[in-house]
Structure 1
């Protein structure tokens, strides 16, 4: 990681200031209180944001200002990154507001926490630092404020070890041990619960055995009951079949009785018919003896038809005469009218000319001739009509006689036909008598057979009653056995359910037993092996860290205190063990410069060990030292040149008010304060 520039707006004593960070070593020089450390705090704020008691918004925002910001540009693996964080004064205090991050010219607006997470990811710091209020890795590898330089050395052994565990991520072993202890406590509680559940194991086994025995006995009894039921049902089926056949026979007997009654009725009918046929034969003989056919009859129908035809013709002629008579009568009246009119008029009604007497006489003569002809014709017609009337009267008399003859003829013909029919009926009667005799014989045979069949009916009725009684008995047995099998089945089902539930309980107990054994083994493994293994792993890691740390600590101290009678090393608790003139001495008994040298050597050694141990971090080439020479003598200050050369870091930022150091660095910036406002002046 290489810092490029930082811009402060209303941050502590700065109103608006941009500081560029070149490669190599850079000294921020200035008087005490000029604002040098503010730049370092601003760098830390831009990366991690506000960190409660360690880096609060109240400590950063300039007094009297409502808003401030820090914008930091840095480079990681040739990627330029810009982070901007803002502070805002509100009614409830100073709060962080949303900022942004620019990576590869892509701007990402984000909340303070999102910015922190993204920045830690870019720096390669562990993810769990997102929720921490202090980044120990940054504080002990990149930047440690002046007031914290000696803090780790002045802590108790346990506090120092806890701090180092957190720095190197070894506090997880302690957390694992603590969590394991809690888990062991929970395991013991679970074991106690499982142990109490195992107390009923023997009782459940006995209950299961008894239930299974009862179930087996019931199943055997149920099999026997089913076999008995099956036999009863088979017998019942046979009885029902027999009863069905017997009832069919009974139905046949009922049919035979009905048939007997029908045959007797038929027999009586035939007897009556025979009597009637005999009576009919006597009547036929008497009728035939009384009526014999002696003459050949001739039908008068032809004569009657001829008479009717003649009457018809005469009637037509008479109608014709009447029509002609009416015609001549009409003509006569017309001629009389003309004659009378002519005699009574003098002028012609058409031309109005006077009619002469001669003309009148001529016309009258002509009309008289016409009237005479009409009279002659009418007389002829009257004579013809009289002749026709006489003929019609004669024909009507003949027609009456012919009709009387026809009636007599029809009566005789009917009688002759009746005689013929009765003569024809006689052989039919004889034939029917023969048929009746044969039918009667057949009926007698059938009745004889039916009588034989009916004689067995009483025995059949007795057999049917006995079979029905036996069927009822077997049905009752079947019903009883069905109820018994149902009860047995219900009891078996109940026992199966009980067995299943008991087996489930037994399975649960076996499962609990297995869990109990597993928990016991797990508890033993955690207690005897796992926790000890954690101690061993942590100890081995600490030994490795201690070895490198101790070597580096001695090397850096020897550079700073080359000609000193002091020698240092780290004890097992990572505390500096100080030897002066072969005697052990306390850190607090040393001079200010000696204490600063030990603190700086400890700080630089810790920086190198952390960078080596946490391989993912991207801040290995950056080192910020805040007043690292406090209390140094002039000779010790000269050692800083050698120390800076030995560090060989890509970028080192020093904060110091010692002017002698200005000649040791590649770049120099002067920080001055005018009134209440700080400024950075390039050299």
Structure 2
């Protein structure tokens, strides 16, 4: 990886600045607070975005500005890459906006997390860093602030080991052991639960054996009861059959007696009916003779009489219509007479015409009187003629009415004769019916007497002993009670057997569950033993082997870099198995606290360079092996130690090395210089050579 250019926009003390980075060794030089660390943080922000607590929006965006951004140009192998991240101040916080990445002129607009994912892929860093807040590999292979390096060197043992596990990517072994410990603890709980679940299984098995014995005994009793109930049932059925057969005989006897009583009743009823019929027959004969004498010699043709009556009614209707017509004509003539008389009287009393007011002369009056007289004479003559005609019509109507009444009387008389004839016919039919019924009743009486005779004969042959029937009923009752007693006892044993079966099933289920719990316990116990006695030691062994391999390489490199920086045969360094630096002076171990400031810095730098090389060798996918940033690596160095730094730079021999320092003596050790100046709270590149 090679950094080519960094463009800053409102980032901390930089307002707008472009910084070009050549290949080889580069010295970022400037006074304390001039803005050197800002460049390093901007590179890290461009690559990975915010890092909680360490790299936030408030530490990057220039005070008083609403927007800012970082654009980083770099190369990985043959790929030319530009990444742009932007910042925006809101009411509550400073947020990352969406940015973009250009790879070989192909632009992709991405969210901050998508940019980070893409960069991790390009740098060859593990994918699990995407969800972590600290990019441990970058921080300990490319850029480690000097204070962070001193922190790992001087940290307590467990903290140092945790950091190194994370840096080396082997913290998974610790997580596995921790998770395994949790799992074993939970397994122990499950084992305890299953152990408690199968306790008391032997007692249940004994209880089951006793129950099965009781169940077997109950089944034997039930078989005996089944046999006894069968025998008792057969005896009851036999007794019941005897009782029913004898009851049937008695029922037949009683039935015969009842039938004889019914026959006697029917005979009496029929004889009574025969007596009544005989009286009816005598009465009907007398009545028929009397009614026949009434109609003897009397006959009328009702059809002719009805026709004649219809003709009379037609004539009567015609005469009535003619009378009505003449009466209307007579009324008209009377009206004319009255109108003429009124006109004659009125004309005699007027002198002038009421309509035209002209004088009415005597001649005109005379003419009107003559005309009225003619009308009166003619109308009077008509009335006379009409009266004569009406008189004749009234006479004829009177004659016709008398004839109609006489004819109607004859018709009515004829109908009365028909009623009498019908009555005679009905009585003759009824008489025949009475005679037929009497004959039938006589036959029925004979048949009933024969039946009575037969039943009486059969009755004398029937056996009828009430005491025997009572004895049979008593025996049947005793047999039934015995049978019911056996049935009840059988039902009790069946219920008992059923309960035994249910209890047996319940116990078996409980025992099976306990057996299953025991199997689970044994499986868990076996599993627990394997994990605790084999798996856990195996993980620890693997971790120790991996850490041992790292240890030997790390120890060798630490000694190499320390010996380059400290040219003193009597002072040496090594690490123990917890990666704690151990110093020996004049053959005696000494603590870091007894070293000078420059020597402490030399320990931290040696640890840093050894760590860098070990990680690069361990993780072969990393694409940042040829890029390194050293932050204030010479703090407290003497002049002799500064000279040794030149040898370190040569020994590193990487494509791009950025050293941040305010020490001017380093200028002669590097190929390129970037001088940073700050004025009025604003940083800028003073020179680049």
Q: Which TM-score band (shorter chain)?
A: 0.5 to 0.7
Residues 1:656 and 2:661 are matched in the alignment: yes
CA distance in 2, matches of 1:145, 1:41: 10
Q: Please tell me whether the aligned partners of residues 559 and 642 of structure 1 are also in contact (alpha carbons under 8 angstroms).
A: no
Alignment partner, residue 317 of structure 1? none
| Partner secondary structure for residue 610 of structure 2 | helix
Alignment partner, residue 673 of structure 1? 678
Q: Aligned runs of 1:345-424 on 2, under 5 Å?
A: none
1:203 deviation in Å? Answer: 3.2
Give the RMSD, CA atoms, in angstroms.
5.3
1:223 deviation in Å? Answer: 4.0
Alignment partner, residue 606 of structure 1? 611
Alignment partner, residue 288 of structure 2? none
| Partner secondary structure for residue 455 of structure 2 | helix
Q: Deviations over 1:494-552 (max 9, x none)?
A: 44444444334333433343344344434443443333222211111111112333344
Alignment partner, residue 212 of structure 2? 212
Residues 1:450 and 2:458 are matched in the alignment: yes
Q: Closer, same or farther in 2 for the Cα pair 1:440/1:3, shift >3 Å?
A: same
Q: Please tell me whether the aligned partners of residues 100 and 115 of structure 2 are also in contact (alpha carbons under 8 angstroms).
A: no
Q: Please tell me whether the aligned partners of residues 561 and 648 of structure 2 are also in contact (alpha carbons under 8 angstroms).
A: no
CA distance in 1, matches of 2:624, 2:179: 33
Q: Closer, same or farther in 2 for the Cα pair 1:153/1:269, shift >3 Å?
A: closer
Q: Aligned runs of 1:179-198 on 2, under 5 Å?
A: 179-188=179-188, 191-192=191-192, 195=195
1:601 deviation in Å? Answer: 3.9
Q: Normalization by structure 1: what TM-score?
A: 0.63
Alignment partner, residue 333 of structure 1? none
Q: Deviations over 1:170-224 (max 9, x none)?
A: 3333344444445555555555555555553443333333333333333433444
CA distance in 1, matches of 2:72, 2:212: 81
Q: Normalization by structure 2: what TM-score?
A: 0.63
Q: Please tell me whether the aligned partners of residues 232 and 479 of structure 2 are also in contact (alpha carbons under 8 angstroms).
A: yes
Q: Aligned runs of 1:144-159 on 2, under 5 Å?
A: 144-159=144-159
CA distance in 2, matches of 1:209, 1:134: 68
Q: Closer, same or farther in 2 for the Cα pair 1:192/1:451, shift >3 Å?
A: closer
CA distance in 1, matches of 2:20, 2:499: 89
Structure 1 residue runs without a partner (length 5+): 277-282, 284-299, 313-351, 353-417, 419-427
Residues 1:28 and 2:13 are matched in the alignment: no
CA distance in 1, matches of 2:256, 2:522: 90
Structure 2 residue runs without a partner (length 5+): 277-281, 283-295, 306-373, 375-427, 429-435
| Partner secondary structure for residue 669 of structure 1 | strand
Residues 1:623 and 2:631 are matched in the alignment: no
Alignment partner, residue 221 of structure 1? 221
Q: Closer, same or farther in 2 for the Cα pair 1:100/1:242, shift >3 Å?
A: farther
Alignment partner, residue 415 of structure 2? none
Alignment partner, residue 40 of structure 1? 40
Alignment partner, residue 308 of structure 2? none
Q: Please tell me whether the aligned partners of residues 28 and 671 of structure 1 are also in contact (alpha carbons under 8 angstroms).
A: yes
1:58 deviation in Å? Answer: 5.2
Alignment partner, residue 137 of structure 1? 137
Alignment partner, residue 109 of structure 2? 107
Q: Aligned runs of 1:253-264 on 2, under 5 Å?
A: 253-262=253-262
Larger Rg, first or second structure (1 or 2): 1
Alignment partner, residue 385 of structure 2? none
CA distance in 2, matches of 1:551, 1:577: 13
* Aligned partner of 2:511 among 473, 495, 506: 506
| Partner secondary structure for residue 200 of structure 2 | helix
CA distance in 1, matches of 2:440, 2:156: 152
CA distance in 1, matches of 2:22, 2:235: 116
| Partner secondary structure for residue 149 of structure 1 | helix
CA distance in 2, matches of 1:544, 1:433: 139
Alignment partner, residue 413 of structure 1? none
Q: Aligned runs of 1:226-625 on 2, under 5 Å?
A: 226-237=226-237, 248-262=248-262, 443=451, 446-447=454-455, 449-453=457-461, 455-456=462-463, 458-459=464-465, 465-554=470-559, 556=561, 569-576=574-581, 596-625=601-630
Aligned length: 545
